[in-house]
Structure 1
Amino acid sequence: MLYANQSLTNVTAEQQYVGLLERVLFSTLTTVPCCVFLFINGTMLFTLRSKTVFRETSRYILLFNLLSADTVQMALSQLLYLLATCRVTLTYPVCGVLVLLANLTSVISPLTLVVMSLERYVAVCYPLRHSTIITIRNTAVAIIVVWAVSSLNILARVILMLDFPFEDLESLQMKDFCSEISLYIGPKSDDYDNVYTCVLFVSASVAIISSYIGVMIAARSASTDKASARKARNTLLLHLVQLGLSLSATIHNPLLIAISKTAMRIVLVRIQNVFYVFIIILPRCLSALIYGIRDHTIRCVLVYHLCCRLKLLSSDWPS
């Protein structure tokens, strides 16, 4: 009997050790790439504010807004992931603020992609009127509208959170780690999420696809710059891919809920780690990589800052 108890104790200790080892391994595998991309995104944001040409060009201003939202979203996601991995619980109000802020930034990204697609459409289809339509003032108004729509979504979520039965709780301290699933309110919130997500991404998809079709039609015109049209077409395709990846983040929680009904907890944790890397982190890194590599004007300055301001040929710097 004593031997059996000792063996059971050894097995339990071994399982705890393996569990701790897995948590450390997964935390390292997610935190290191996340920190690298946060550094790249931060450098990209600094780059977009370092030159007058970036501060006074609409597409770079929109890119700055997109990168800002993606960077905040990535930082919040990694913070919540590390808190969950370290088994640190928060209070409901603090968790609610973090989740709402994450929702705010997640909505800003697809809306900004729509505005960027429309800007490319105007640049190709109405090149002579581009400078009068796409002005700094109009760009600022578009960004304000994007943030206002995102804020209305947060306001609706706050109103739905008022139905949360806080009076039935023994304490405001959460028993589980902070996540949107932990703040599940009820069927009203679930229905609102489904409707809002469908409306948002259907509208965004229609806007981007319509812009793409418009650019394709304009590319066949003899008066259109073929190189500019081809580049705009490729950019719009990338926007559509980014939108799809943003949409994949919205199905993250429903997938986990569905899998949790059949999978063991340890299997669920492993699946959640894989989903986190490919659905949450990876899409937030693409904007900096796509625009940092494709745009020659950004690439020169970005490499300069990433290489700790090593001396580059002055001819490669944008004026």
Structure 2
Amino acid sequence: MEDNSSLVGGQSLRRINERVIIVQILVMIFLCINLLLIMTFFKKECFYKTTRYILFALTLLSDSFLLVMSNIMLIFNHFKVTMPVWLCIIVSVVVILYLAVTPLTLTAMTLERYVAICMPLRHGELCSQSTTVNCILIIHGLSSVPFFVVLSIFFASASLSFYTQYRVCLAEMFILYRWQDDIRAGVYQLYFVLMCITIVFCYVKIMKVAKAASGEQRKSTWKGLRTVILHAFQLLLCLIQLWCPFIETAVLQISFKLFIDVRYINYLTFILAPKCLSPLIYGLRDETFVHALKSYASFGLCKRNSWQK
């Protein structure tokens, strides 16, 4: 019996270690891609003066930050590293904030495409640099609402001695009562509904313009429509990510082993996967950005070859 249990334990430990290694490889790949795209963004002046590129850079920065923080927390949880509750609160505040930044930024990018296609004469006015800065502030303001709600309820319920305890930092630590989980779910579901309504509204309006357009305008409009569809898919993954804690909490009541498996699948599918879709949507589908990226990635060789031709 002892041999069998040790064998099973060894296999489980090896499987967990393999999972951690796989995550580290994926995180490094995505971070390198994001870093290359961010550096390309700052290399050309037209990028940081255009709304859609600024919002694109914001998603890259927030996604990269989330990748780093979630990876650190994954390693800490894997090795059962404890920390003071007050420190865990600070870390969690930042993570919860940026969990909402990417979906809201994607919604703002969809609205920008709606204005560019359906209101082209007002695009310069509505999508100026000052408007973009205000938009980013609004995005961060809206993103702060979920963590403000969660932490306000937690502070009202937790005793003072709880903050000095040392624990493994988990999101479930802030849910002391079932009703707190229900309020958190309500806030995220409200965000989910509002963002879905925005995406559907933009899609329907752009579809109408696409059907009425002709020639080059029709081609450009359909390209914008495909971008909105890709945004919708990426947004869906991000919004499902907001539901993951509720799914994991329910699974935890059934089996801890199943909880570990579900959390790992959720992390790969709904946290890592959406982070690689941003480069696909704007980094690789935008011709201007692709040319700048090729020139930067090849240390200017592409640009020299084009001059020689």
* TM-score between the two structures when normalised by the length of structure 1: 0.88
Identity between Structure 1 and Structure 2 (%):
25
**Match of residue 50, structure 1, among 43, 53, 69:** 43
Matches within 5 A, 1:198-213: 198-213=189-204
Query: Does 2:266 match 1:275?
Result: yes
SS of the residue corresponding to residue 302 of structure 2 reads coil
SS of the residue corresponding to residue 226 of structure 2 reads helix
Q: How far apart, CA to CA, are the structure 2 residues paired with 1:316 and 1:115?
A: 35
**Match of residue 114, structure 2, among 121, 142, 155:** 121
Matches within 5 A, 1:105-120: 105-120=98-113
**Match of residue 311, structure 1, among 296, 301, 307:** 301
Partner AA of 2:155 in structure 1: L
Partner AA of 2:303 in structure 1: L
Q: How far apart, CA to CA, are the structure 1 residues paired with 2:204 and 2:295?
A: 37
**Match of residue 293, structure 2, among 302, 305, 309:** 302
User: Counterpart of 2:227?
Assistant: 235
SS of the residue corresponding to residue 96 of structure 2 reads helix
Residue pair 2:41, 2:57 contacting (<8 A) in 1 also: yes
Q: How far apart, CA to CA, are the structure 1 residues paired with 2:306 and 2:253?
A: 56
User: Counterpart of 1:261?
Assistant: 253
SS of the residue corresponding to residue 248 of structure 1 reads helix
Q: How far off its partner does 1:183 sit?
A: 2.3
Q: How far off its partner does 1:291 sit?
A: 1.6
Matches within 5 A, 1:45-194: 45-167=38-160, 169=162, 171-174=164-167, 177-194=168-185
Residue pair 2:84, 2:163 contacting (<8 A) in 1 also: no
Q: Return 231-240 or 147-156, whichever deviates more.
A: 147-156
Higher-Rg structure is 1
**Match of residue 186, structure 2, among 181, 195, 214:** 195
Q: How far apart, CA to CA, are the structure 2 residues paired with 1:253 and 1:14?
A: 31
Q: How far apart, CA to CA, are the structure 1 residues paired with 2:210 and 2:46?
A: 27
Partner AA of 1:312 in structure 2: C
Q: How far apart, CA to CA, are the structure 2 residues paired with 1:136 and 1:184?
A: 40
Root mean square deviation, CA, Å: 2.2
Q: How far off its partner does 1:188 sit?
A: 4.3
Query: Does 2:231 match 1:245?
Result: no
Q: How far apart, CA to CA, are the structure 1 residues paired with 2:12 and 2:85?
A: 27
SS of the residue corresponding to residue 312 of structure 1 reads helix
Query: Does 2:276 match 1:290?
Result: no
Partner AA of 2:121 in structure 1: L
Partner AA of 2:234 in structure 1: Q
* TM-score between the two structures when normalised by the length of structure 2: 0.91
Aligned length: 306
Q: How far off its partner does 1:289 sit?
A: 2.5
Q: How far apart, CA to CA, are the structure 1 residues paired with 2:197 and 2:281?
A: 22
Q: How far apart, CA to CA, are the structure 1 residues paired with 2:163 and 2:42?
A: 49
Q: How far apart, CA to CA, are the structure 2 residues paired with 1:127 and 1:315?
A: 36
Deviations 1:70-108 (A, max 9, x none): 111122111111111122122211211222211101111
Q: How far apart, CA to CA, are the structure 1 residues paired with 2:199 and 2:162?
A: 45
Q: How far off its partner does 1:301 sit?
A: 2.6
Q: How far apart, CA to CA, are the structure 1 residues paired with 2:244 and 2:76?
A: 18
Q: How far off its partner does 1:216 sit?
A: 1.0
Q: How far apart, CA to CA, are the structure 2 residues paired with 1:158 and 1:222?
A: 49
Partner AA of 2:152 in structure 1: I
The runs of 5 or more residues in structure 1 that have no matched partner are 1-6
Residue pair 1:40, 1:306 contacting (<8 A) in 2 also: no
Residue pair 2:86, 2:164 contacting (<8 A) in 1 also: no
Residue pair 1:119, 1:134 contacting (<8 A) in 2 also: yes
Q: How far off its partner does 1:171 sit?
A: 5.0
Return closer, same or farther for 1:102/1:170 CA change in 2, 3 Å cut-off: closer
